[in-house]
């Protein structure tokens, strides 16, 4: 257990890089792509460079956050996969606004993304489901994600039933309750740690009329 005093003295001085308006592309998706690529090269296991915090809020306004894996990105936005009937799935049905946060400690970087969420097309979900390992595909059938279960044995029983159902089929169809979501970004903020807590923050916002991105520096 760390004492408050120990915690108070835990801090890093960030010296690795800077983030300047002049070197930053007008389109933040391009900058995100560069940072992700760099993170994949530098954030070695057990760190997962495509791990991100997904924050949602339920109808009462209560926030909920959990780690997810980014599984795709393009000009439209950021894609992840989950159970549509999970707690997060129901929250995003009630309130289709979400935030994604990436933290790349080796690079001393954070990216914060905010926007609307929508389900990806059935074809996109089918395509990703098909490339998952068979165990993960069957697991998606077996696990009623976010529901209380009696014990680990119950999960094993459900998996055994799924195995039996698909015994003659090594290409099971995607469960209807499982698929992808895409966060369509309205705002993307890039944070680069700098010495003396004078960090760089560039805040990109999508302009609703033109579809262009504006960029503003924020105080650290």
Ligand X SMILES: Cc1cc2nc3c(=O)[nH]c(=O)nc-3n(C[C@H](O)[C@H](O)[C@H](O)COP(=O)(O)O)c2cc1C
Known catalytic residues? 197
Is position 101 an interface residue for ligand X (rule: CB under 6 A)? no
* 66, 54 Cβ separation under 8 angstroms: yes
Should residue 68 be labelled a site residue for ligand X when binding is judged by CB under 6 A?
yes
Q: Where are the beta strands (DSSP E) in 25-177?
A: 51-57, 63-69, 72-74, 77-83, 97-104, 109-119
Smaller CB separation from ligand X, 88 or 182: 88
110 is in an annotated binding site: yes
Residues 6+ apart with CB under 8 A from 76: 182, 184
Binding status of residue 182 toward ligand X by CB under 6 A:
no
Q: How many alpha carbons fall within 13 Å on the CB side of residue 95?
A: 16
Closest distance to ligand X from the beta carbon of 75 (Å): 22
Q: How many residues bind ligand X (CB under 6 A)?
A: 16
User: Which helix (DSSP H) or strand (DSSP E) does residue 192 occupy?
Assistant: strand 178-192
Q: Is 40 one of the binding residues for ligand X (CB under 6 A)?
A: no
Q: What is the dihedral of CA 43, 99, 193, 20, to 10 degrees?
A: 110
Closer to ligand X by CB, 115 or 179: give it. Answer: 179
Closest to ligand X by CB, 25 or 139: 139
Out of 76, 146, 157, 186, the only residue in the binding site for ligand X (CB under 6 A) is 146
Considering the rule CB under 6 A, would residue 177 count as an interface residue with ligand X?
no
Can you tell me which of 57, 87, 97, 206 binds ligand X, judged by CB under 6 A? Answer: 87
User: Rounded to the nearest 5°, which phi and psi values hold at 5?
Assistant: -70, -45
- The residues binding ligand X (CB under 6 A) are 48, 51, 64, 66-69, 80-83, 86-88, 145-146
């Amino acid at each position: 257990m760390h004492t408050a005093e120990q915690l108070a003295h835990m801090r890093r001085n960030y010296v690795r890089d800077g983030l300047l308006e002049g070197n930053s592309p007008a389109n933040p998706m391009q900058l995100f792509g560069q940072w992700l690529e760099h993170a994949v090269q530098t954030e070695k296991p057990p760190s997962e460079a495509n791990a991100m915090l997904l924050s949602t809020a339920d109808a009462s306004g209560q926030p909920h956050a959990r780690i997810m894996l980014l599984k795709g990105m393009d000009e439209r936005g950021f894609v992840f996969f989950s159970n549509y009937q999970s707690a997060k799935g129901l929250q995003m049905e009630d309130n289709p606004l979400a935030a994604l946060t990436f933290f790349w400690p080796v690079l001393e970087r954070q990216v914060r993304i905010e926007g609307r969420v929508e389900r990806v097309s059935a074809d996109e979900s089918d395509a990703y489901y098909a490339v998952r390992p068979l165990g993960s595909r069957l697991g998606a059938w077996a696990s009623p994600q976010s529901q209380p279960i009696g014990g680990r044995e119950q999960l094993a029983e459900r998996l055994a039933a799924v195995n039996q159902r698909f015994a003659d089929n090594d290409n099971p169809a995607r469960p209807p309750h499982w698929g992808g979501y895409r966060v369509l970004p309205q705002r993307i903020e890039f944070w680069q740690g700098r010495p003396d807590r004078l960090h760089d923050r560039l805040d990109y916002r999508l302009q609703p009329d033109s579809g262009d991105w504006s960029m503003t520096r924020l105080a650290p």
